[in-house]
């Protein structure tokens, strides 16, 4: 475009003068509205990926909490024999009758 080029900003006050120049390129409406910038696309992609990862972690944690714990029989070793918990005698002072 014809407006593209070097532009200079000059500031004066009682303490002195300062100036800064920059190359300015004028864009048309078509070039501005054509496509989103690469940074925006990357931001959207990373946000979606982070959301998916958070959802997977949340589902995994919930799934682990829902599963019942593995039940292992209590095994006591006495004289090289193994007893399962229901084969042990009932302690009437602390337990109710197991048959009921």
Q: Is the pLDDT of residue 39 over 60?
A: yes
Question: Is the CB of residue 74 less than 8 Å from the CB of residue 85?
Answer: yes
Least confident of 13-22, 62-71, 76-85, 89-98: 76-85
Residue 42 lies in a domain: yes
Whether 48 maps to a domain, the answer reads yes
Going by pLDDT thresholds of 50, 70 and 90, the confidence category of residue 4 is confident
Q: How far is CA 25 from CA 3, 36, 78, in A?
A: 7, 18, 90
For residue 46, tell me if it sits in a domain.
yes
- Give the domain range for residue 84: 37-88
- Banded model confidence at residue 38, pLDDT cuts 50, 70, 90: low
DSSP string, 15-40: TEEEEEEEEE-PPPHHHHHSS--HHH
- Considering the domain boundaries, does residue 62 fall inside one? yes
Residue 9 has pLDDT above 70, yes or no: yes
The per-residue pLDDT of the chain, averaged, comes to 77
Q: Residue 3: name the closest of 31, 23, 33, 29 by CA.
A: 23
Domain count, the chain: 1
pLDDT at 98 over 70: no
* pLDDT, tens digit, 9 for 90 and up, residues 47-70: 999 999 999 999 988 887 777 666
In-domain check, residue 61: yes
CA dist 84 and 79 (Å) reads 14
Residue 92 is given by DSSP the state: T
1 contact partners, CB below 8 Å, separation of at least 6: 25, 26, 28
Whole-model pTM: value is 0.34
């Amino acid at each position: 475009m014809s407006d593209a080029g070097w532009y200079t900003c000059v500031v004066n006050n009682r303490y002195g003068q300062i100036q800064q120049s920059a190359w300015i390129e004028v864009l048309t409406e078509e070039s501005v509205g054509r496509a989103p910038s690469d940074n925006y696309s990357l931001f959207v992609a990373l946000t979606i990926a982070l959301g998916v990862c958070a959802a997977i972690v949340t589902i995994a944690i919930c799934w682990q909490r829902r599963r019942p714990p593995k039940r292992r029989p209590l095994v006591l070793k006495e004289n090289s024999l193994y007893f399962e918990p229901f084969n042990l005698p009932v302690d009437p002072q602390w337990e109710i009758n197991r048959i009921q």
